[in-house]
């Protein structure tokens, strides 16, 4: 935890004997650097006037020797808030750490145990997880970018993170593809060497199947039979399936390279659903042994929840075929065995799967595998059109490749070369995703997705580039630290202090974003910092001013924090734009 914040909390605990103390970061316009509503909650418990209790607490705080070293003022505000102003000396210390410690590493959140989670700080973060035989849609972009940022935030907060890509490479959709490929290639037999299908060809076959199935419902049964043969190890079906996987992975890896996305598990490919083909039976056996697997009315095998808490979860279809639930249970059983039973497992998956994950987590608790808060579903809303949902089955979807191409073309309008255009384009796409709370749906709009002005990725990148330009113009001669405090004090002017006061909260913001799996919290902070810096730049002289050293140190610190923060969001920062 940031030392300034921790010292304030320690002092409040001494003054009140309360353990439940929260410090807010108020708006920077004159309400202190921190604010506490402790007096409001304590007054209710003690049946006192909150304003009077706040004054009593402040009197005790004003005698705290540790606070005197870091605060310039403590004040009470109606109806019972306590506001804290950090001293210029303490602000200077923070800026020195940013600029002249080990980069921004000294600004990282405390890497010790996180008391909000009763487990070791290890996590599997599962994200992206596209389906084989379908190009990357704009919808999968959300999971990919949010999940990657969450993994970065956890790592920066001292977590050991395993990044997994749980590819959708198994299931009845492959029966549909195999059926279509076989019927269009009657001489295929047991070799795929004559096939020349792209990933878009594969998705077109999938769309064609569903159109034909509307006219001929019996096709669904034929597809199920092809998948049953695939599960049974039929050589021809296995070869066609592997062909589809190889074509898809080549396309996915190309997209991941553009986006700068990497996974750590299974040699960087992630553990797809097919990896657990031979690991499902032990799960089924355990469910049966513990009396949790019951037969439904049509012969399917299900888990029923006590008191009807959730609808039953199907584990096996009536024909014995497996489902997502069977494979996901096998996946989590594998993870608990591989990484330890105290691992936190995080799935970044669309909000439409909320009920399914509630059922899945409950089954794992019933099996005795996990405890509360050990399984996490990070939800994101749909990308949708204004009047309808996107649908791969209907061929009514926006492909990510097309979005990236248009973003790069738009970035080139700013005079960017190819490399810079890609950095700016990808930065714009990522920022437009990460700046918002992921839970809500997004109406797909080309202008919004490709936004490169205002609160945008290019604005953030340009702000960093501006800090570098200022420092370059100073030729390095004046880029010294803010003078050390030796007996006297350094006095920031009002605008310098506003900027410095935003900088001190960086580590707290990162920790908050990590704890709540909320990259948008960090993005909002970085935008506030950039806005404050650009306001300062536009109104104040830096190079050649009487306060040049102090102001250059502030510029350097802003650049360091923006670069580090954007890095956590997976956004590159060009040094020139």
* Edge-first strand listing for the sheet containing 122-126: 160-164, 122-126, 344-350, 375-380
Go through 405-414 and write b for each residue having 16 or more CB atoms within 10 A of its CB, e for each that does not: eebbebbbee
96 and 236: one domain?
no
- Please confirm whether the linkage preceding 79 is cis (ω < 30° from 0): yes
Q: What is the per-residue pLDDT for 168?
A: 92
Q: Which element (helix H / strand E) includes 61?
A: helix 50-61
DSSP-assigned beta bridge partners for residue 28? none
Do 469 and 350 sit in the same domain of this protein?
no
Question: For residue 471, what is the domain's CATH number?
Answer: 1.10.730.10
Residue 500 has a pLDDT of 93
**Which stretches of the chain score pLDDT less than 70?**
1-2, 27-31, 102-120, 186-191, 383-397, 416, 443-446, 449-450, 452, 475-490
For the beta carbon of residue 181, count every other beta carbon within 10 angstroms: 22
CA 278 to chain centre: 31
Residues 366 and 449 in one domain: no
Render pLDDT for 12-22 as a digit per residue (tens, 0 to 9).
988 888 777 88
Query: H helices within 107-198, ranges in order?
Result: 138-156, 172-184
Three-state DSSP string of 302-334: EECCHHHCCCCEEEECCCCCECHHHHHHHHHHH
In the numeric block, which tokens belong to residue 335? 């993870």
Residue 319 is predicted with a pLDDT of 82
CB 240 within 8 Å of CB 133: no
Tell me, yes or no, whether 290 lies in a domain: no
Q: How far is CA 230 from CA 111, 200, 209, 213, 227, in A?
A: 47, 22, 18, 20, 5
Q: Based on the structure, what is the number of domains in the chain?
A: 3
Looking at the structure, tell me whether residues 62 and 126 fall in a common domain.
Answer: no
Same domain, 571 and 430: yes
Q: Which residues of 224-235 are buried (b: 16+ CB within 10 A; e: fewer)?
A: bebbbbbbeebe
* Rounded CA separation 139/409 (Å): 21
468 plus 567 within the same structural domain: yes
Residues 203 and 219 in one domain: yes
Q: Are residues 138 and 251 in the same domain?
A: yes
Within 494-573, residue ranges assigned H as helices are 494-503, 506-515, 519-539, 548-568
56 and 94 housed in the same domain: no
Per-residue pLDDT at 1 = 40
Give the separation between CA 320 and CA 301, rounded to whole angstroms.
8
With respect to residue 300, please indicate whether it lies within any of the assigned structural domains.
no
Q: Is residue 277 part of a domain?
A: no
Output DSSP code: residue 292. -
For CA atoms 282, 357, 321, 334, the dihedral sign is negative
Q: Which domain holds residue 552?
A: 87-116+399-435+445-577
454 and 535 share one domain:
yes
| pLDDT value, residue 462 | 93
DSSP 3: H
pLDDT at 477: 52
Q: Evaluate whether 92 touches 490 at the Cβ level (below 8 Å).
A: yes
CB 420 within 8 A of CB 577: yes
**Are 470 and 530 within one domain?**
yes
Residue 562 lies in a domain: yes
Q: The tokens 């037969």 sit on which residue? A: 295
Alpha carbon distance 304, 294 (integer Å)? 7
């Amino acid at each position: 935890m940031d030392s300034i914040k921790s010292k304030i909390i320690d002092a409040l605990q001494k003054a009140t004997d309360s353990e439940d103390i929260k410090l807010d970061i108020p708006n920077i316009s004159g309400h202190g650097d921190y604010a506490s509503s402790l007096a409001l909650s304590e007054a209710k418990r003690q049946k006192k006037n909150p304003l009077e209790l706040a004054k009593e607490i402040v009197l005790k705080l004003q005698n705290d020797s540790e606070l005197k070293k870091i605060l310039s003022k403590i004040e009470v505000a109606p109806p019972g808030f306590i506001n804290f102003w950090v001293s210029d000396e303490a602000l200077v210390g923070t800026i020195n750490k940013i600029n002249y410690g080990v980069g921004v590493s000294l600004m990282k959140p405390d890497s010790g145990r996180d008391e909000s989670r009763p487990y070791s700080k290890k996590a599997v973060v599962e994200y992206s997880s596209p389906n084989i035989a379908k190009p990357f849609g704009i919808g999968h972009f959300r999971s990919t970018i949010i999940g990657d940022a969450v993994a970065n935030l956890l790592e920066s907060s001292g977590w050991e993170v395993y990044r997994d890509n749980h590819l959708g490479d198994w299931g009845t959709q492959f029966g549909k593809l195999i059926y279509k490929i076989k019927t269009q290639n009657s001489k295929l037999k047991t070799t795929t060497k004559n096939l020349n299908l792209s990933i878009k060809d594969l998705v077109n076959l999938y769309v064609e199947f569903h159109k034909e199935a509307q006219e001929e419902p019996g096709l669904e049964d034929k597809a199920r039979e092809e998948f049953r043969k695939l599960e049974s190890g039929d050589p021809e079906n296995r070869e066609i399936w592997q062909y589809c996987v190889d074509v898809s992975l080549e396309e996915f890896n190309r997209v991941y390279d553009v986006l700068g996305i990497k996974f750590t598990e299974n040699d960087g490919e992630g553990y797809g659903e097919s990896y657990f083909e031979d690991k499902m039976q032990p799960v089924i056996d355990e469910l049966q042994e513990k009396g949790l697997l019951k037969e439904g009315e049509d012969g399917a095998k299900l888990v029923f929840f006590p008191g009807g808490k959730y609808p039953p979860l199907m584990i096996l279809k009536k024909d014995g075929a497996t489902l997502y639930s069977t494979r996901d249970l096998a996946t989590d059983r594998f993870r608990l065995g591989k990484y330890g039973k105290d691992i936190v497992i995080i799935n970044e998956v669309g909000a439409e799967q909320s009920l399914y994950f509630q059922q899945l987590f409950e089954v794992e608790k019933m099996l005795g595998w996990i405890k509360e808060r050990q399984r996490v579903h990070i939800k994101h809303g749909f990308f949708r059109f204004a009047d309808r949902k996107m649908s791969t089955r209907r061929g009514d979807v926006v492909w990510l490749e097309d979005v990236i191409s248009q973003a790069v073309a738009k970035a080139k309008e700013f005079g960017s070369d190819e490399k810079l255009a890609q950095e700016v384009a990808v930065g714009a796409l990522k920022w437009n995703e990460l700046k918002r709370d992921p839970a809500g749906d997004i109406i797909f709009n080309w202008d919004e997705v490709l936004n490169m002005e205002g609160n945008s990725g290019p604005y953030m990148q340009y702000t960093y580039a501006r800090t570098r330009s200022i420092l370059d113009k100073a030729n390095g001669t004046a880029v010294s630290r803010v003078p050390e405090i030796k007996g006297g004090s350094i006095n920031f002017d009002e605008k310098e202090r506003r900027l410095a006061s935003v900088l001190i909260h960086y580590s707290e913001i990162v920790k908050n974003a990590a704890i709540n799996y909320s990259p948008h919290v960090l993005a909002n902070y970085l935008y506030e910092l950039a806005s404050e810096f650009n306001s300062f730049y536009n109104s104040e002289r830096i190079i050649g001013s009487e306060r040049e050293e102090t102001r250059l140190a502030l510029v350097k610190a802003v650049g360091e924090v923006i670069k580090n923060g954007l890095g956590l969001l997976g956004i590159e920062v060009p040094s020139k734009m």
